[in-house]
């Protein structure tokens, strides 16, 4: 029998089409629920965070902090802006294993120690990634980030401004009080205890 002349059982094409149309709404529902999962990115000023917590007399447990960001704030990507110091490669590797995306900045020796100014890199990365996240968590107490925080807030993208030291942060942030969270009040949970 010639394949061109083969006849399909009556209604078989219709059944397949009906099955496909029944699957589509389910797939659409699944796609919608996947899209509803909020992309939350954290942009962390590591120097401000580290120095501020040490001024409070304790050290931050970076593993617990990453867990906190994920579990409490829904952070899906955590960008850690850090000055690159040769010899610290093991620490950098551990931070990456804990789920941080490290953005390095060259450092310089100064009278006050090693410095790596990350401000421009943090703002630039926040803007490069802007279309990829729904909400942002900014971790700093430094007023140099006021313009970025103001922009994110005015466009509905600022989820939380995490300030390392509740007693010491820029007065420019006062108007963001409703979105502030203070790391220094979480010592019991976030202190390095080993």
Instruction: Render each residue's pLDDT in the chain as its tens digit; 194 residues.
Output: 444 444 444 444 554 444 444 545 555 455 444 446 899 999 999 999 999 999 999 999 999 999 999 999 999 999 999 989 899 999 999 999 999 999 998 877 767 665 657 899 999 999 999 999 999 999 999 999 999 999 999 999 999 999 999 999 999 999 999 999 999 999 999 999 97
Q: What angle do CA 164, 104, 84 make, to 5 degrees?
A: 90
Report CA 136 to chain centroid distance, whole Å.
Answer: 6
- Residue extents of the structural domains in the chain: 9-35, 39-190
> What's the CATH class of domain 39-190?
alpha beta
pLDDT of 8: 45
* 3-state secondary structure labels for all residues of the chain: CCHHHCCCCCCHHHHHHHHHHHHHHHHHHHHHHHHHCCCEEEEEEHHHHHHHHHHCCCCECHHHHHHHHHHHHCEEEEEEEEEECCCCHHHHHHHHHCCEEEEEEECEEECCEEECCCHHHHHHHHHHCHHHCCEEEEECCCHHHHHHHHHHHHCCCEEEEEECCCCCCCHHHHHHHHHEEEHHHHHHHHECCC
Task: Please tell me the predicted confidence (pLDDT) of residue 37.
Answer: 86
């Amino acid at each position: 029998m010639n394949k061109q002349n083969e006849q399909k059982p009556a209604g078989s094409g219709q059944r397949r089409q009906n099955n496909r149309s029944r699957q589509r709404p389910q797939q659409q529902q699944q796609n919608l629920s996947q899209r509803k999962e909020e992309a939350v990115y954290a942009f962390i000023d590591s120097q401000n965070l580290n120095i501020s917590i040490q001024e409070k007399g304790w050290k931050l447990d970076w593993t617990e902090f990453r867990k906190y960001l994920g579990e409490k704030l829904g952070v899906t990507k955590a960008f850690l802006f850090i000055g690159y110091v040769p010899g610290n490669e093991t620490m950098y590797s551990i931070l990456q294993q804990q789920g941080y995306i490290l953005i390095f900045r060259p450092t310089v020796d100064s009278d006050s120690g090693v410095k790596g100014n990350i401000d421009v890199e943090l703002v630039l990365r926040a803007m490069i990634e802007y279309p990829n996240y729904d909400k942002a968590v900014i971790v700093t107490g430094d007023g140099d980030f006021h313009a970025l925080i103001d922009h994110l807030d005015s466009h509905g993208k600022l989820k939380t401004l995490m300030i390392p030291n509740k007693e010491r942060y820029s007065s420019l942030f006062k108007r963001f009080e409703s979105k502030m969270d203070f790391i220094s009040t979480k010592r019991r949970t976030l202190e390095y205890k080993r």
